Structure formats: structure tokens, C-alpha cells
Amino acid sequence: MTAPSLLAPAPARHSRSLNLVAVVTGAILIAVVVLAVFGPWFAPHPAGQTIGRPLANTGADGWLGTDRLGRDVWSQILHGGRRTVIIPLVATLAATVAGDTVGLLAGRRPRNRILDAVLMVIIAMPAMLILLLLLHRFGKSAWVPIAAVVVVAFPYSVRYARSASAKAWGSSFVEQARLRGESNGWILRHEVLPNVAGPVLSDTGLRFATSVQLVTAASFLGFGPSAPATDWATQISKNLDGASLNLWAIAAPALMIALLTVPANLLADRLAARIEQ
Amino acid sequence: MPIVLRLLSRLAISLALLLAVSIAVFASVEILPGDPATTILGRNASPDRVDALREQLGLDNSPVVRYWDWLKSTAQGDLGLQATGNRSVWSTISTPLRNTAILAVVAFATTSIAAVGGGLIAGRRPGNRTDRVLSIGTLSIVAMPEFVIAGLLISLFAFRLDWVSSVSLVPLGGTPLDAPSTLILPVATITLVAGSYGLRLVRALVAEASAQPFVEAARLAGVRETAVLRRHLLPSVAAPTAQVLAFSVPYLIGGTVIVEQVFAYPGLGSLLVEQIARRDVTVVEAIAMIMTTAVIAGFLIADLLGALTARHIPRSDSRPSAALP
Amino acid sequence: MTAQPLRFDAAPKVSIDSLTIADPGGRLILSDVSLEIAEGTTVGIVGESGSGKSTLLRAILGAVHRDLRVEGAIAVDGTPILGAPRSVVARLRREGAAYLGQDPPASLTPSMRVEQLIAERIVERATFRAITEALHAVQLPADREFRRRRPYQLSGGQQQRLALARALANRSRLLLLDEPTTSLDVVTQAMVLDEIARQQSGRTTVIVSHDLAVVAQLADWLVVLRDGEIIEQGPFIDVVRQPASDYLAEIIDACPDLAKKHDQRPAHSAPGGHHLASALKVDGLRAAYETRSGSVVAAADVSFDVHPGECVALVGASGSGKSTIARSVIGVHAPEAGTVRLADKVVAPRAADRTHGERRRVQLIAQDPWAALNPRRRVGAALARSVERFRGVPRSQAGKIGLDLFERVGLHPDLFNRRPDRLSGGERQRVAIAIALAAEPDVLICDESTSALDVSIQAGVLDLLAELQRELSLGVLFITHDLGVVARIADRVLVLDDGKLCEHGTLSEVFDHPHHEMTRHLLSTSPSLSATLEERSPSHIHQHAGGKTLEQPPPL
């Protein structure tokens, strides 16, 4: 009853420090996105330009040294950000629109065997396999990873949005709305959506990191942009062999990807926790 | 429902799922717009060669007939000949398959230990310091692509500390087990990623079970903590935990593709990437079917284990709501 | 450790010395609570939600959430518990005390067998005989087949007994009970209370409850807790007969009691009252509802009517399908047969096929005010929308009417723009009533609408309903399992047994001269504070001396 359970989650006594986490991660995220989007304007060297000997250490040739082809690592980072950020962003939005729309509507009648079967078929195929099959079929193009993200994310966002909206659709306040003769559209807008928007939003945030993973995986496996266009994953994959000479050639793009996805995930998780309270 | 019937129905569902997946694989490889023969040979190939290949692949038949033929021979274990070259598919994939199986089995074991052990530690007392640290840690790890984690591990352990090699050189004619050090970084990478993912799901199950009135009652009854875990908590999380581990299988298999590429590990994933670049339809199909069969088998085993262990536990409809891999 | 060892062979005494517990935000959960519980007594701690009663009980077991700040001391048999080493606390829980929380069957681990559940609590060697004794002590069988069962293979009553047997299997002399019968139907509740009473002798018992009538059957010493403070305490009978605090007096007054029938308004003989068209008439209703274990017949040929301005109570055990009848009437559950008449006109079984005007005539107020209100909508907006739809007035006017209704149900206008989560349970239930009134209904169906509320809040809501019924000539169908509530509000009573109406009549007919066995059973098992007090006349009770009662015959 009134007693806080022995085992209940601790009250958020660290809420202040957690807010600090949110501010710091948010700042990092914004900084990385700004760097990625506007980076090409500030890059010391044009994309793909050789500035010195390959795999030079930090110092003389740029502060992060050079890569396998003697290009400035820092300039490559600045040139490679746009693709790494924007393609997953587009993919996330597309996947959210597709999955959540179906999920929201499916919530009215959550038990649908046909839909469940379709979702299960997709779940049974590893994401990486779906990506590779699509690459195999349609070749190297920025749209393929986007399509892969939409397909891979589909079952999960449908299920999530469906269970979130099924709760609202089956609630007694929706039943009441029907009894006073409200239309489905009105109920969706005024009773269901307000209850679903928060969870779906935080879920979208968590999906962004997954999109980055899949999109960058394509590049890493060699299906990325052709030089001189570049992205962070391509840089890692191309420089793996020479990394013993200049560690930064792989560590820098790896860190950039981490600085993009980790704060995004932490922020979305905070949002989800706040909504659940 | 009697247990035998339940097992049989699960088996039937799995077979149906496998069939559906095989259609999806076949369709995505062969039926979607475009001509596979031209795709394989490239646009500049001579018409004669294209026709010959069409003949060999049976492309003049209707897709349904081709699918049926393919399904029949695949089901009989006959994977056919490579579309490019004359080796049999089986001889091409057998060694990589063995290597990947070794990697996957070892990684599955370590992943399970990490997921279950960590999940128990974190979920036992939700909200305490250990739980929060593990939560942020795992959330950060699952946010990163596998190759980033692999890259960071290589940077640190191979190049900085020089403890292990950055490349998995499997001895000629031997198996990775002959040189276990080749497995260290690949397994570590997969364990970090799939283990973190599993840990989060197991933690949620354990936390939920910890809040069950009977667990709390056991603690208030002075039952020793080890006994609380063993007798009261674990039985109710065993079945869903098996499912969580099963759900980590597709994740793990996807992980092997990347990890094999990073460490130049001679496995099925590397072969798949290579054959996709070479556009070999039959090998790609074979590998895709092997991978999905492994996933579905994992689901089935988890389902069966769940059905056997959870007979006396009131059914809850809470499948692990698998967060996106 | 210098502390004297715990001894568990005799009924222990518990002393609580200026115990203060505060949450991390500094809010006091318990404030300077001091209490001496003498050996062999039964102390009842009564308080409403938020009074800190469960926290107090758990503190005796050393179970205080790690984030709470604690001052003061608790000693069991002279051994300090708060701040004691873990081993001492563990030993107290294992050997020195038996604890039974709310919903006892939930304390049974579903994967364990009966014998394992008992054996785990036996302090010495868990021999076959020891398990047999523990099971026999609560009148459970102890044969091999029974021992091998798991909780789900037991009946509800057996689960209750097994939970008690498990708690007591350590033969401890200290029994701590936290609302052990809340959420039970009266029949099971009576069985559990009976069993607890049998176990009381030779034990020190502390029972925590919101229900004075339940505590009355067991306790010889009463402690009244409010907002973490002890308002008053003393020998049960004395304190209840002459409450020193207004608060206790108010609670006693608010406590639903089937022996306290309200002054019946002559509803039937009211001018034209009976001859007017009935507001609601149900004929030959058949309905079933689905559960996991199959279909339950909720109504097999049920017929009744409700007249304007009268309150009809529909009484039955929990799970008997009373809600299904309500849902069939408003048209959200499809009955198998039967007709529903509103204002003497047959309406379609499904709400979707009824006209707007027909849907308006009957409104439902459900048990759970949480579920009935959209958490993301301000209550005022929800209310105004209902006015707008049902009365066909423009939005601007609907807001004003809504505000009037809001005040009509006794809510402060400041709450109008709040979201449901910022209202208390009683306030939410009043909002639900206002929303129902927005439709200007002829009939209000209240489905256990007050059973989740504290008694003092419940009394207020019941009074409001009675008032509305009178002033608006509303017909009220009040569905409940609580005969005390029936006595307070109903003009006529229908008793439901196994889907059939086994008894109906005016309140006094049914309560004073029950015909059907089910009715008699319900009446005899319903706890009644006044009846219990009468039974426990002072001559039965040995003299209390400073809170110590020497011996007490088992009540009942």
C-alpha cells in the first residue's frame, strides 16, 4: 500500500546529476551534428586531396595525421560527416513513418495473425542479411541502406506503436468517447495520439542509433560512397590495415560515430524514462 | 494443451516460418525486377554467355517452378553448383561455415554468460549504483556499430598494448580452435554488443520478477539471498530469458558478418560479402538460408525450453519486447 | 554482539520508540511514533492510505527502503532491530516473525511445490512430520499428492490457507499482518479472519488495515494512524465506543456497516413514484464473459427494473459477473439474450445501434477512476466535451456548464484544468460522476464505484450520489459486493448468485428477513463494526492494563 516497496526502483534522487548527463550528451550530439553538416566548409583540405606521405603520424601533416592515401584525417572526417548523419536520419524518419503508422492503426485490433506472420518473417532474418540481400539485388546506392533500415525496423516499430496505441484504443476513456458518438478520427486525434506520441518519439530516438549501425555497416563492407566522396565508416574500413602506423586514421572516425550514436541513445533513454514516470 | 501437442505445434510453426523466409530470400535474390543473369555477368556480357547462364540457372522457367526446384534440392541438402564457376556450393561454404559455427558457438556461450550474469546483477536491486552504471554502459555499447567497437578494441589491444593480433590468421588446414588467440577479439566484440543487448533485456525481466510479491515475500520471510535467487526468482525468469537469448541469435549472426570482415576471419560472413560483390546467386541463397535456419532453430529451441520449464507458471503474454537489435 | 540473543519460544513484545521515517524529499512518512506491544496481545493499526501504516509494520521486520531516513528505535524482545547487523534482521525474519502481506496467495512462488514452500520456512529440520503439522495447523490436507501440488493447482481458499501456513511454519510467536483480507470477497475474508483468529492464541499479533470492521474482529488494542502520526490508541472497545479524536469518530461514522441501514425514503410510495415508467428495465438478460479458464455465466435470465429517484443495489460475490451485466446494459457487452428498456422503450443491444438520445439516458461510473480518464487530457476539457456532445451546446457554453457541474459534484474550480494524475482518487471519482451527469442521464450505473476509496472519502461520494439521486430524480443501479455500502444507500436490493437473481426486495426485507441461503451467507460473513462490538461486550474481555491484555477468547 503506502510503504515504498523494499524492492521498488529508487526514487530519482540523482535527478539533478542525470539532468546534467542529459545536458552534456545533448551538447555533444549537437556539436557532432553541426560538425558533420557544416564540416565541409571548414575542412583545411578538399575531399580526397593527398597532402603528404601515407599514414604519417600526428603533427607535421594535420593534427590527426594522414590516412593510407596520404589524405588529411581531420579533413576527411569533416567531409565524411554529412553522409554519416543525414542518411541514417532520413532512414529513421522513413522507418518511423512506415512502422508507426501501421502500428497506430493496427492498435485498434491488435490481434492480427497475418500482420504478425509478416513481422515474424522479417524478425527471423538477421538485419545484416537483409541489408546484404538488398545490396546484392540493387547494388551500391545510398537508397539501399535506407530501404534496409525501413525493412529491418518495421516489425519493431509496428509492434511498439501497436502495443502503445492498443492500450489507448482499448481503454475505457475511448469506450466512453464512442458512447458519446465520437468518430474514429476524433478519437485517434484527441484520445489516442496524445498518449502515444511520447513513447513513439523516444522509440524513434533509440532507433536512430540502429539506423546509423546499419547504414555505416553497408559502407564498412565496401558498399559506401566512391572516392572522393567519403563517410566515417568507409574511412575505418579503408584504413584498418594501416592503423598500426597512424591509429587516428581509424580511431578518429570510430570516435565520431560513437559520439553521434551514444549520446543519441542516452538522450532517448532519458526521454523514455521520463515518459514512463 | 498436452505438452506433446504443444511441442508439435511449435515445430509446425517454425517450419512454416522457415518456408516463408525461404520465399522471401528467393524472391529478393531472384524474382525482383531485373535479370539475374545480366546482373551476374554485367551489362557488357555477350548474349551467348547470358543465354548459357540463363539456361544453367533455369531462368526461363516461371519463378514458381524455379522456387519449387530450388526448395526441393535445398531441402534434400543439395545446394547445387556455384552460379559463377563450377565448384559445388557445398565445397565453397563448408570450411567457412565450420569457422563461423565455431565463432558463433563460442560467442553465444560468452554472450549468454554476460547477459544472464549481468542481467541478474543489475536487475536484482533495480536502481542501485551497479544497475545505473551497467545501464549507461550497455546503452552506450549497443548504440555503437560492431565495427566501431571492433575498431576501438583493435586500437587498444592490438596496436596500443600489442596483446593480440589485429588479424585472425587461421592456420592452413586447421581450425580456429588450433589457434584460439584468433578468436579473442572477434568473440570479445560480439560479446560486448550482443551481450549488452541481452543484458538489458534480462535485466528488465529480473527487475520485473524482483518486484513480484512472492519474491518480496521470500525476502521478508528471511530466505537467504542465494535461495531467493535460485528458488523464487530464477524459475520465473528462466523461460523468458531463454527467449531473450534466442532473440540475440539474429543479432549475433549479423555481428559475425561484420566482425569477420574486421578481423579478416575466414567465415561465412566474409564469404557472403565476397560473393555478393561477385553476384553469385546460388551461394548467396545458400548462405542466407543457413543463417535464417540457425535463427529459427534458436527461436524454436527457446520456445521448447520455455514450454518445458514454464508449464506451472501462469502464462503471461509478455514476450521480451525485443528492442530493435 | 552484546545485544541479548533473540528468544523465540515465547510471545515476544515489540517496542517502538519515537520512530520517524522520512522520504528523500524530507516528507515525513512516520512522525515520532511510539508504541508498546505487549506479549500476547493483538494490536490493530488502522489508517487510511498514506497514513504510513504499512511502513510501520515493515519497519518491525527491519525492512525500510534504503532511500528512507530513519530515526528512533524498534526492539523485538529487547533486541534492537533498526540498524542491527544483517544477520540479526535475517534471523528475526526467518525464525522470529511471520509476515503476511496483502493478497496472501501472491506470496506463493508459482514454481514451488506445497512441501517446498512449507519446508523453506521450517527452522529446524523440515521433516515429513513437521510439514504435516504445519499444513494441519491451518486445516489443509497433508497427503503426498497434496504436498506435490503447486499453488496454481489449489483452490483460492487453499491458497489463502497455504500462505498462512507458510508464514507460520517457523512457529514464531509474532504474527504481522498487512491488510491480509483486502481485495477478498466477504466469504473468503471471513474464512481467512477465522483462520487467523484460531492462530492468535499464544501469539503477539499486529494487524494493519484500513478497515475498522476487520480489525474489530481480532484486535484488543487499537492504534489510529493518520499522516504518519498516532492520533489515538487504547483498548479497542473503549476507544471505539468513545473516540477521543474527531478523526476516529468520523471514520467510525463513515465505516460502511450493514447494521446501520439508512433512513429509507419511501421511494415507492412517493407521489406517483411507483407508477411512473421505470427508468431502466431489464428482461431475461443472459450474458457470459470469457476468462482464461473458459466462459463464466454472468447472467442467466436476469430481470429487474430501476425507477426514477431510487437506488437499486445489485449484490454478488466478486467475479460473479456483475460488471458484465452493467456493460450489457450500456451496450458495450453483447448479451446472448434479453432486452433492455430505457424509459419504457426497448433499445438495441449494442450501443453503436442505439440513438444518441438512448445512449444519453444511461451512464456508467466504473470502479477504476484511473482508467476512465484520459491521462493526457485535462479533466475540464473532457467534461466540457461530454457536455458539448450530449447537450448539443456550443463549445464556449459547454465549458461554463462543465464548470457548474464540476462545482455541483463538490470539486473546487481550481482543479478544472488539471490532468487526472494531479487529482486524488476521490476527486477523480467525482470528475467521473460529473462527466456522467453531463449527459443528463435517467439512470446512473455505479460499478463498484467507491470500493477503491478510503472509507471517509467513500462516505462523501456515497452522500453525493444519494443527493443527486434525490434532487435529479436519478435512478441509480449500484453494483457492489459490500453490504455495508448497500445499507447506506440502497432502497431495493437484488442478490445475484450464479447468474441468477436469488433474492430481491426492499432493503429491510432483504436484510432483516433474507430468504435465500446466499443472502444469509453474505449477511453473516460481512464484517460489521457495530455487530462485532456488541458481541464483544466488555464482560468477554479481560481487563486491559496499560495496553496489556492477558488473554482473549477467539472472536466470532
Mean pLDDT of B266-293: 84
Chain A: residue nearest C371 by CA?
A172
Query: Which amino acid does the sequence have at C162?
Result: L
Q: How many Å is the maximal CA-CA distance in chain A?
A: 77
Characterise C140 by phi-psi region: left (phi > 0), alpha (psi -120 to 50), beta (else): beta
What's the pLDDT band for B302 if we cut at 50, 70, 90?
A: confident
- pLDDT of residue A4 exceeding 70, the answer is no
The pLDDT value recorded for residue C65 is: 84
Interface of A with C (CB under 8 A): 1-6, 8, 10-11, 13, 171-173, 175-176, 178-182, 190-191, 194-195
The structure's pTM equals 0.80
Closest CA to C136 of C169, C174, C179, C93: C169
Q: Inter-chain contact C106–B213, Cβ cutoff 8 Å?
A: yes
The pLDDT value recorded for residue B283 is: 83
A54 in Cβ contact with A66 (< 8 Å): yes
Mean pLDDT of C340-353: 89
The pLDDT value recorded for residue C38 is: 87
The pLDDT value recorded for residue C385 is: 93
- pLDDT of residue B40 exceeding 70, the answer is no
The pLDDT value recorded for residue C444 is: 93
When scoring A14, A178, A179 by the number of chain C Cβ atoms within 10 A, the one with the most, hence best to mutate, is A179
pLDDT one-digit tens code per residue, A237-259 = 888 877 777 788 888 888 999 99
The pLDDT value recorded for residue C125 is: 83
The pLDDT value recorded for residue C543 is: 42
Question: Could you give phi then psi for residue C126, rounded to 5 degrees?
Answer: -80, 80
Chain B: nearest CA to C81, how far in angstroms? 14
pLDDT one-digit tens code per residue, C74-117 = 998 888 888 888 888 999 999 889 999 888 888 999 889 999 99
What's the pLDDT band for B310 if we cut at 50, 70, 90?
A: low
Characterise B279 by phi-psi region: left (phi > 0), alpha (psi -120 to 50), beta (else): left
- pLDDT of residue A77 exceeding 80, the answer is yes
Say which residues have a Cβ less than 8 Å from residue C325's Cβ, sequence separation at least 6: C282, C285, C287, C298, C299, C302, C314, C479, C496
Alpha-carbon distance A95 to A146, whole Å?
8
Closest CA to C371 of C452, C315, C437: C452
Chain B residues close to C103, C-beta within 8 Å: 213
The pLDDT value recorded for residue C213 is: 87
The pLDDT value recorded for residue A149 is: 92
- pLDDT of residue C156 exceeding 70, the answer is yes
Mean pLDDT of chain C: 85
Chain B residues close to C292, C-beta within 8 Å: 315
What's the pLDDT band for A181 if we cut at 50, 70, 90?
A: confident
The pLDDT value recorded for residue C270 is: 44
The pLDDT value recorded for residue B69 is: 80
The pLDDT value recorded for residue B33 is: 55
What's the pLDDT band for A3 if we cut at 50, 70, 90?
A: very low
Decide: helix, strand or coil at residue C7: coil
Query: Which amino acid does the sequence have at C556?
Result: L
> Residues of C248-258 as b/e, b for ≥16 C-beta within 10 angstroms?
beebbebbbbb
Decide: helix, strand or coil at residue C375: coil
> Do C280-370+443-525 and C38-55+100-254 have the same topology in CATH?
yes
What's the pLDDT band for B84 if we cut at 50, 70, 90?
A: low
The pLDDT value recorded for residue A60 is: 64
CA distances (Å), C312 to each of B139, C264, C279, C280, in order? 57, 12, 12, 11
- The least confident of B122-126, C154-158, C318-322 is C318-322
- Which stretch of DSSP H or E encloses residue C226? strand C221-226
pLDDT one-digit tens code per residue, C2-19 = 444 555 556 678 899 999
The pLDDT value recorded for residue A1 is: 34
Torsion of CA C17, C18, C23, C26, to 10 degrees: -160
What ipTM, to 2 d.p.? Answer: 0.80
- DSSP per residue over A180-193, as a string? TT--HHHHIIIIIH
Chains that touch B (3 or more CB pairs under 8 A): A, C
Chain B: nearest CA to A201, how far in angstroms? 14
pLDDT one-digit tens code per residue, C369-389 = 778 899 889 999 999 999 999
Mean pLDDT of B193-209: 89
User: Which strands make up the sheet holding C221-226, listed edge to edge?
Assistant: C98-100, C174-178, C204-209, C42-46, C221-226, C229-235
pLDDT one-digit tens code per residue, A95-114 = 999 999 999 888 888 788 88
Q: Which fold has domain C38-55+100-254?
A: Rossmann fold (3.40.50)
Please check whether residue B43 touches C, CB under 8 A.
Answer: no
- DSSP per residue over C140-176, as a string? ----HHHHT--GGGS-HHHHHHHHHHHHHTT--SEEE
Decide: helix, strand or coil at residue C100: strand
Mean pLDDT of B8-35: 80
Decide: helix, strand or coil at residue C500: strand
Which of A63-72, A184-193, C270-279 ranks highest by mean pLDDT?
A184-193
The pLDDT value recorded for residue C388 is: 92
B181 versus A276: the higher-pLDDT residue is B181
Chain B: nearest CA to A183, how far in angstroms? 31
- DSSP per residue over B89-130, as a string? HHHHHHHHHHHHHHHHHHHHHHHHHHHHHHHHHHHHSTTSHH
Point out which residues pair with C287 in neighbouring strands.
Answer: C299
pLDDT one-digit tens code per residue, C230-247 = 999 999 888 988 899 999
- pLDDT of residue C547 exceeding 50, the answer is no
Nearest to C150 among B217, B218, B312 (CB): B312
- The least confident of A232-241, B168-177, C523-532 is B168-177
Q: What percentage of residues in chain C have a pLDDT greater than 70?
A: 92
The pLDDT value recorded for residue A58 is: 67
Report the Cα A137 to chain-centroid distance in Å: 24
Nearest to A191 among C51, C66, C374 (CB): C374
Chain A to chain C Cβ contacts (< 8 Å): 80
Chains that touch A (3 or more CB pairs under 8 A): B, C
Chain C residues close to B220, C-beta within 8 Å: 58, 61, 63, 93, 99, 101
Chain A residues close to C55, C-beta within 8 Å: 2-4
What's the pLDDT band for B317 if we cut at 50, 70, 90?
A: very low
Please check whether residue C61 touches B, CB under 8 A.
Answer: yes
Strands C475-480 and C443-447, bridge-based pairing: parallel
The pLDDT value recorded for residue A277 is: 62
The pLDDT value recorded for residue C548 is: 40
Mean pLDDT of B157-166: 73
Q: Inter-chain contact C94–B223, Cβ cutoff 8 Å?
A: yes
Which of B49-53, B127-131, C145-149 ranks highest by mean pLDDT?
C145-149
Asked if CATH classification 1.10.3720.10 holds for the domain at C280-370+443-525, the reply, yes or no, is no
Alpha-carbon distance C175 to C167, whole Å?
8
CA distances (Å), C490 to each of A10, C31, C465, in order? 45, 40, 11
Select from 3.55.10.10, 1.10.3720.10, 2.60.40.290, 2.30.30.90 the CATH code of B91-270.
Answer: 1.10.3720.10
Chain B: nearest CA to C338, how far in angstroms? 35
- The least confident of A183-187, C43-47, C368-372 is C368-372
What's the pLDDT band for C206 if we cut at 50, 70, 90?
A: very high
- Other CB atoms within 10 Å distance of the CB of residue A25: 20
The pLDDT value recorded for residue C11 is: 64
- pLDDT of residue B221 exceeding 80, the answer is yes
The pLDDT value recorded for residue C194 is: 87
pLDDT one-digit tens code per residue, C296-338 = 888 888 999 999 999 999 998 776 778 889 999 999 888 898 9
pLDDT one-digit tens code per residue, C19-41 = 999 988 888 899 999 998 988 88
Alpha-carbon distance C461 to C519, whole Å?
26
Alpha-carbon distance C96 to C101, whole Å?
16
Chain B: nearest CA to C423, how far in angstroms? 26
Nearest to A1 among C102, C371, C435 (CB): C102
What's the pLDDT band for C556 if we cut at 50, 70, 90?
A: very low
Nearest to B324 among A117, A206, A243 (CB): A206
Chain C residues close to B1, C-beta within 8 Å: none
- pLDDT of residue A5 exceeding 80, the answer is no
- pLDDT of residue C540 exceeding 80, the answer is no
> In C341-408, which residue ranges form alpha helices assigned H by DSSP?
356-361, 369-372, 379-391, 395-408
Report the Cα B9 to chain-centroid distance in Å: 23
Chain C residues close to B232, C-beta within 8 Å: 109, 112
Please check whether residue A104 touches B, CB under 8 A.
Answer: no
Task: Please give the grid coordinates belonging to residue A239.
Answer: 584504413
Mean pLDDT of chain A: 82
Q: What domains are there in chain A, each with its CATH number?
A: 18-276 (1.10.3720.10)
Q: Inter-chain contact B140–A266, Cβ cutoff 8 Å?
A: yes
Mean pLDDT of C173-185: 85
Task: Please give the grid coordinates belonging to residue C429.
Answer: 471519482
Strands C204-209 and C174-178, bridge-based pairing: parallel
Chain A: nearest CA to B28, how far in angstroms? 7
Alpha-carbon distance B212 to B207, whole Å?
9
- The least confident of B52-66, B255-269, C53-67 is B52-66
pLDDT one-digit tens code per residue, A6-65 = 333 334 444 555 577 788 889 999 999 998 888 888 877 777 777 777 777 766 667 777
